[in-house]
Amino acid sequence: MGVKEIKIIGGFGKAEQKEPVNEVTLKMGDVISIVGPTGSGKTALINDIELFANENTPSRRKVLINGKTAPEEFTEDASKNPIALITQHTNFLSDLPVKKFLEIHARIRRSDGSKAIVEETLDFANQLTGESIIIDNAMTELSGGQTRALLIADAVVIGNSPIILLDEIENAGINRSKALELLKKYEKIFIFVTHDLGIILLSDFRIAMRNGSMERLIVTSEEEKRMAKEIKKLDDVMIDFRDRIRAGESLKEEELRYHLRAIGYFS
């Protein structure tokens, strides 16, 4: 079954109140953020999506694929499940070298499991992480950021999953701005659970959670998109400084002033 859209039918929040947002439709190419304070129900919502809830979870939501209940094969056969969930805690268990793992996965998941697919996956991953992945290293030797970067690249390029759930990847050493820039080139549904302002404002819309309920559905305004561009400039400065500190360098106040002048914050 080719996925064209998923639809979330609202259920009930923690106090058994009907959710204010009754229905959310996500189409291929959409980038969505799920936002809200700790304990507001963000993780429960993505769990409902991953499980293709059918009024059988605590929220009693329904998740439809192309307007219909998801076929049983989606949950019974991992190879046919159209969803990939990646969290800040997801790790590889295999001790295969990176290259070997990608080659095997490409042969299993792609009819065109060629060298080019493996190279595209590795290039994608290396653009997300500040530390390049060495293809001969064992999967278990990768850092947290490298692991998450490779998982995302593998799900997008080799797995070709139409729906990607990303749970707080900003805490895993991922270049968020670069991730969004790359992901938007692929016609998939990307759902972020995030507190990161840059990711939120670069999404097409966001679902605001409160007390276990989908409280509001907010389309990103043109003003917010302009703000996102300014926030990205500051974020790029922070990423540069972070990478230099990781490399053992020292920073000076004048360098910060230089960067801020360069992006127009000081005359």
Superfamily of chain region 1-82+162-220: P-loop containing nucleotide triphosphate hydrolases (3.40.50.300)
Q: Tokens 């400039």 — which residue?
A: 233
pTM: 0.86
Write down the domain spans for the chain: 1-82+162-220, 94-159, 222-267
Three-class SS state of 35: strand
Q: At what angle do helices 222-246 and 176-183 cross, to 10 degrees?
A: 130
- Neighbour tally for 247: CB within 10 Å: 8
Read off the amino acid at residue 72. Answer: E
**Ranges 3-17, 88-102, 224-238: which has the least confidence:** 88-102
CA dihedral angle for residue 33, residue 34, residue 35, residue 41, rounded to 10 degrees: -170
Q: Report the percent of the chain where pLDDT is more than 90.
A: 49
Three-class SS state of 213: strand
- Summarised one tens digit per residue, pLDDT across range 108-154 is 887 666 788 999 999 999 988 878 899 899 988 888 888 888 989 99
Alpha-helical runs (H) found in 86-206: 98-109, 115-128, 144-153, 176-183, 197-202
State residue 160's pLDDT score: 86
Pairing of the two strands 62-65 and 5-9:
antiparallel
State residue 112's pLDDT score: 67
Q: What angle do CA 159, 177, 90 make, to 5 degrees?
A: 45
Kindly state the helix (H) or strand (E) to which residue 228 belongs, with its residue range.
Answer: helix 222-246
- Summarised one tens digit per residue, pLDDT across range 169-190 is 766 567 777 788 888 888 899 9
- Summarised one tens digit per residue, pLDDT across range 238-249 is 888 888 898 899
Q: Please check whether residue 102 is in contact with residue 118, taking contact to mean a CB–CB distance below 8 angstroms.
A: yes
